[in-house]
Structure 1
Amino acid sequence: MNVGPQADPVASIAVLADDLTSAGDGAAPFRRAGHRAKVLLSPDSGAAFGTAAPALAGVVAVDLGSRLLDEPTAVITTARAAGAFAAADLLVKTVDSTLRGHVAAEVRAAHAASGRPAVVVAPAFPAEGRTTVQGVQYVHGVPVHETAFARDPAHPVRCSDLARLLPEADHLEPDRFGKLPELIERGGTFVCSAATDADLDHLVLSVPQTGDVLWVGSPGLAAALARLHSRTPAAALPGLPGARRPLVVAGSANPATRRQLNRLRERVDVAAAAVDGDAAAAVHALRSASAPVLVVHTPDGRRTAASDSLTADLAHAVRALVTGGPVDGLVLTGGETAVAVLEALRSEGIDLIDEPEPGVARGILLGPSRVPVLIKAGGFGDEGTLDRLCRLLMDGGSAA
């Protein structure tokens, strides 16, 4: 999509995320727009912090892991990151498009530490049905606190109204975006509604100097900023070999992921094993399988093990299957699952290649096991998403 005259090119872009899938989501649109990009697993990965951090060319997206922290610790972590990357040409703080996590506290912490006089908050992600209308966040037309995200086991969403989350903010509908230049000059926090990608494009074009503000949003806003700040010439997209033995790892309890898992398991070329307190049994079953596509997942019904234990068991199974064979490519769904797997594989993150679908990051692991990987948030996609991503991993290549 062409959003009109291009802004001055930016050399450094920092994306601060509260979990790994959000880091990938935030960096992927910039990669697609021609920037080099890395997604780092933790604030200390690859010397993410330090005096040299803002000078790094391209995109550095950092998983702060703050969604899993208590709020005071999340505030400290977010402020530290925003201060470390305050000199970046473009500074983006991602938030979940369903408002999970410590949204208000992290926005305030990032704003205070960023050195930017103003913060623009726009959590809409229209490609996935997440819209902001009159300051209220919706998922496919339903206020987010009335959806399945209200029953999220780790971060249940209780409020859809951004005016209640950020009472200090001014609220703007798209027909008032033209007032942003004078408002930003005064400073403050501005919550911006958006129901379409065109609204988000209108928003970023309404800010004369995008580096003057802290941008807060989901992949929808990142994509709008990336369309404005495309890089010429574009950094090359490397080709990928097709995976001969892909492994799909499903740790998310989100109903969307479970539907995708059910569809994938209907394929005749798939062998699946559940992990519920016995990772070794799942590893043995998958190593013995003749099917080319392997799937390891948490149980479908009642679980005998705790959630943290199940995630650790999944990661252990993946490490055994990757380092000891036969797996040569990964599809990971669920942010906590993806972090646990990367840590088990001693990976610092991923060298980002592209975004084959909204909310999906594709890259190569940074670490001893340089295998291709696709990472998807648990709540994203339709029933065929895992099936498509698995086929893409097997096809290799790079996105057009």
Structure 2
Amino acid sequence: MRQEPPADPVTSIAVLADDLTSAGDGAAPFRGAGHRAQVLLQRDGVLGAAREGVVAVDLGSRPLDEATAAALTWRAAAAFAGADLLIKTVDSTLRGHLAAETRAAHSGSGRQALVVAPAFPAEGRTTVRGIQHVQGVPVHETAFAHDPTHPVRTSDLARLLPEAELLEPEQFGKLPELIDTGGVFVCSAATDADLDLLVSSVPRPHDVLWAGSPGLAAALAAHHSRVPAASAVELPGSRRPLVVVGSAHPASRRQLERLRTRRDVAAADAGDDPAAAVEALRRSAAPVLAVHTPDTRRAASDVLTGRLAGVVGASVAERLVDGLVLTGGETAATVLEALGAAGIDLVDEPEPGVARGVLLGRPRIPVLIKAGGFGNDGTLDRLRRLLVEGGQLS
């Protein structure tokens, strides 16, 4: 392998995501590596540009049709093409418009190569010979095949991106030469060490559009840490948190059920009568509140999410609560929009796939954001405790 000159320090990082949890997941490892980071909602067609620190943009493209999502992604990649490090997040379970959006981002970025690595080993999502697995099972054979908006039909990345060259970890050493000629490369990874090897095999990050999940973001952040670290964002405490569950994924529903067994938690269903849900929360003396969509879907997903966001907005406006745990990307984005927030100032990543920060807006309350399919049965309970107690999870 030829010797490469030392790369210039990475100071500007742009993360382009199709939903809010992906934006938070993509940015959080860099916050832990010392970079300032913000997660921003983008809904009016106006995009910023690369700047020092991390800008993670939720394009809100997952629920859009494929052509619209691709066009929006192309514009975003072109707008942030000047970033030292440019990342297009992809869902580790292959939901969303993965092929169309990554191709559009590659084209808009003007970069020589597209490196796709969706593995997230910390959450049991691995890529083996180009096949995506969840806990060892091909993803199209898991609960993600029944996602209400983006059911996963294939686990084979070669089918999604037939133009790509598939690379196993033992082949990553060829990447400098391959990148010089351009192209698309799907990289298998079963461990964090595989992802670390992938990132270390690419000497000039500006040549590459990276496409991956939080596993890849963590590997990139470890290789591009900032010293000295950015100043900390002040994190206010929460005396009465509200846990918000809009995800229909079975993992989130098990987490919600576990939370509802606690005596100090009062939960309300926002699905049929949002005003009644607000009244129930208003009358409760419980130190922890929860609001959720119905366990059985009785209306369209966007209708239920809108009702849920309305309950959260009223609860925050009346100061019934002073901290939020948000589960599900669409839910989190809709809630932030209802609150009039531009996004969040990131503080850290207390668990894999969980972003913690402070609302960019008023009131500046603490927020934890988690993707619907992440975590075990006790995750919401732990996050509820973290919001109250502060600090890191034990």
**With structure 1 as the length reference, what TM-score do the two structures score?**
0.95
Residue 88 of structure 1 aligns to which amino acid in structure 2? A
After TM superposition, the structure 1 = structure 2 runs for residues 115-264 of structure 1, keeping only pairs within 5 Å, are: 115-264=110-259
Q: 1:17 maps to what in 2?
A: 17
Q: 1:3 maps to what in 2?
A: none
Deviations 1:77-125 (A, max 9, x none): 0000000000100000000000001111111111111010111000000
Question: Could you tell me whether the CA contact under 8 Å between 1:241 and 1:397 is conserved in 2?
Answer: no
Question: Could you tell me whether the CA contact under 8 Å between 1:43 and 1:62 is conserved in 2?
Answer: no
Q: Structure 1 vs Structure 2: percent identity of aligned residues?
A: 74
Q: How far off is 1:395 after superposition?
A: 0.9
Q: Structure 2: any 5+ residue segments left out of the alignment? A: 1-5
Residue 378 of structure 1 aligns to which amino acid in structure 2? G
Task: Find the aligned partners of 1:118 and 1:13 in 2 and give their Cα distance.
Answer: 17
Q: 2:3 maps to what in 1?
A: none
Task: Find the aligned partners of 1:191 and 1:241 in 2 and give their Cα distance.
Answer: 42
Task: Find the aligned partners of 2:351 and 2:232 in 1 and give their Cα distance.
Answer: 16
Partner-residue secondary structure (3-state), 1:15: strand
315, 318, 323: which one aligns with 2:312: 318
Task: Find the aligned partners of 2:44 and 2:221 in 1 and give their Cα distance.
Answer: 26
The RMSD of aligned alpha carbons is 1.5
Question: Could you tell me whether the CA contact under 8 Å between 1:240 and 1:397 is conserved in 2?
Answer: no
Question: Could you tell me whether the CA contact under 8 Å between 1:239 and 1:398 is conserved in 2?
Answer: no
Residue 274 of structure 1 aligns to which amino acid in structure 2? D
Residue 307 of structure 1 aligns to which amino acid in structure 2? S
Partner-residue secondary structure (3-state), 1:355: strand
After TM superposition, the structure 1 = structure 2 runs for residues 279-318 of structure 1, keeping only pairs within 5 Å, are: 279-301=274-296, 303-318=297-312
Deviations 1:180-235 (A, max 9, x none): 01000000000000000000000000011112100000000000000000000011
Task: Find the aligned partners of 2:161 and 2:247 in 1 and give their Cα distance.
Answer: 29
Residue 15 of structure 2 aligns to which amino acid in structure 1? V
Q: 1:26 maps to what in 2?
A: 26
Question: Alignment length, in residue pairs?
Answer: 389
Question: Could you tell me whether the CA contact under 8 Å between 2:70 and 2:104 is conserved in 1?
Answer: yes
Question: Could you tell me whether the CA contact under 8 Å between 1:328 and 1:372 is conserved in 2?
Answer: yes
Q: How far off is 1:310 after superposition?
A: 1.1
Deviations 1:221-280 (A, max 9, x none): 000000000000011333423211100000100000000001111111100111122111
After TM superposition, the structure 1 = structure 2 runs for residues 59-74 of structure 1, keeping only pairs within 5 Å, are: 59-74=54-69
Q: 2:341 maps to what in 1?
A: 347
366, 377, 388: which one aligns with 2:371: 377
73, 81, 85: which one aligns with 2:76: 81
Q: Does 1:391 align with 2:385?
A: yes
Residue 321 of structure 1 aligns to which amino acid in structure 2? S
Task: Find the aligned partners of 2:375 and 2:278 in 1 and give their Cα distance.
Answer: 27
Residue 335 of structure 2 aligns to which amino acid in structure 1? V
Q: 2:97 maps to what in 1?
A: 102
Task: Find the aligned partners of 1:247 and 1:264 in 2 and give their Cα distance.
Answer: 12
Question: Could you tell me whether the CA contact under 8 Å between 1:35 and 1:234 is conserved in 2?
Answer: yes
Deviates more, 1:308-317 or 1:225-234: 308-317
Task: Find the aligned partners of 1:305 and 1:158 in 2 and give their Cα distance.
Answer: 24
Q: How far off is 1:309 after superposition?
A: 1.6
Q: How far off is 1:369 after superposition?
A: 2.1
Question: Could you tell me whether the CA contact under 8 Å between 1:33 and 1:227 is conserved in 2?
Answer: yes
Residue 356 of structure 1 aligns to which amino acid in structure 2? P
Task: Find the aligned partners of 2:108 and 2:271 in 1 and give their Cα distance.
Answer: 43
Task: Find the aligned partners of 1:349 and 1:271 in 2 and give their Cα distance.
Answer: 27
Task: Find the aligned partners of 1:237 and 1:362 in 2 and give their Cα distance.
Answer: 13
Q: Does 1:35 align with 2:35?
A: yes
Question: Could you tell me whether the CA contact under 8 Å between 2:34 and 2:229 is conserved in 1?
Answer: yes
Residue 114 of structure 2 aligns to which amino acid in structure 1? V
Residue 24 of structure 1 aligns to which amino acid in structure 2? G
Question: Could you tell me whether the CA contact under 8 Å between 2:386 and 2:392 is conserved in 1?
Answer: no
Task: Find the aligned partners of 2:131 and 2:141 in 1 and give their Cα distance.
Answer: 12
